[in-house]
Amino acid sequence: MYLETNERQINATQLLRIVGYEGYDFTADAGHVHYEICDYGEQLANPPDIYVHWKPVKESGSLPLTLQLVNQWGADDQLIFDYVIQTLNLH
């Protein structure tokens, strides 16, 4: 599966994409995370050895973040991906 930095694999045919964040300030407002759940496919194209990837959006939404989560958040967004996957019960 070919993934961008804002995407994580959920299973063999789906991925989670973090679209953006808004409203967090690390003290009073935890804000929201916006996400997309996408199907995933790839196909060998012509000329040989070139893959075409497609990632159609199947669902999108936003979730409220918690101050505890935002205060633990560093340079790596994996904590946010884990939160979205767990909250939406995608595992």
Structure tokens belonging to residue 84: 């979205």
% residues pLDDT > 70 (the chain) = 95
d(CA 36, CA 20): 10
> Would 2 be classed as within a structural domain?
no
Within a domain: residue 82?
yes
pLDDT at 76 over 90: no
Q: Does residue 19 sit within a domain?
A: yes
Structural domains counted in the chain: 1
Judge whether 66 lies within some domain: yes
Q: Which residue has the tokens 């790596």?
A: 76
**Global model pTM greater than 0.95:** no
List of residues 6+ apart from 34 with CB closer than 8 A: 18, 19, 20, 21, 22, 60, 61, 62
- Name the nearest CA neighbour of 52 among 41, 62, 61, 66: 41
- pLDDT surpassing 90 at residue 2: no
Query: What's the chain's average pLDDT?
Result: 87
- Work out the average pLDDT over 73-86: 88
> What is the residue range of 44's domain?
7-87
Strands (E), the chain: 7-11, 14-22, 32-39, 41-45, 50-54, 57-64
In a domain? residue 72: yes
